[in-house]
Amino acid sequence: MFGITPLGWLHTLGSLPAIPAAGYMLFRYGRIVPRSIAGRVYFICMVIGGLTVFLVAKAPETAAVGAVTLLVLLAGYTVGRIQVLGRVRWYLETFLLTLTVFLLMVPTVSEILRRVPDGHPIAADPGSPILKGALASLVAMLVLGLAAQFIYLFKFKVSKRAR
């Protein structure tokens, strides 16, 4: 179904829970919160997706995006613990972890548009205007979302609950 191999299904189903976990945290806290249950689920699913992409990737740039995503994820989950950075660590953590959501959504949206409906995909090729528009929308959401998150962090100084 959808031309996905068993390893592809492992990759897809292993990383899929990261999307609702990210959505929940963005809605509830306004950002990804690593030290929450949803943050732990997000981390585990992103690691599964990031590692299994090397098994299913056909293009070298896909593996490169997976490696970058894992590095950004690890940096995002680490930087919040570096006390010497002061409040800057919350901005760095927010930037890095929001970037991981973006890096998760780019291939997700691309794969959905290029595979669904089965046999007659919405975007038949990588140069499709629909696909380009969807990816441009993700970039706009990244920029606007980061701006909103930074304003929130500046205005409300990150409550204990959202750490």
Cis peptide before 117 (omega within 30 of 0): yes
Does residue 1 form part of some domain?
no
Question: What tens digit of pLDDT does each residue of 138-157 get?
Answer: 999 999 999 999 998 988 76
Q: Which residue has the tokens 């929450």?
A: 36
Q: What is the pLDDT of residue 141?
A: 98
Does residue 46 form part of some domain?
yes
Does residue 119 form part of some domain?
yes
Which range marks the domain in which residue 128 is found? 6-162
Contacts 24+ apart (CB under 8 A), 81-87: 87/153, 87/157, 87/158
Does residue 117 form part of some domain?
yes
Spatial separation of the C-alpha atoms in residues 51 and 162, rounded to whole Å: 28
pLDDT category at 162 given cuts 50, 70, 90 is: low
Spatial separation of the C-alpha atoms in residues 144 and 147, rounded to whole Å: 5
Q: Into how many domains does the chain fold? A: 1
**pTM across the whole model:** 0.91
In this model, does residue 60 exceed pLDDT 80? yes
What would the mean pLDDT of 76-104 be, rounded to a whole number? 96
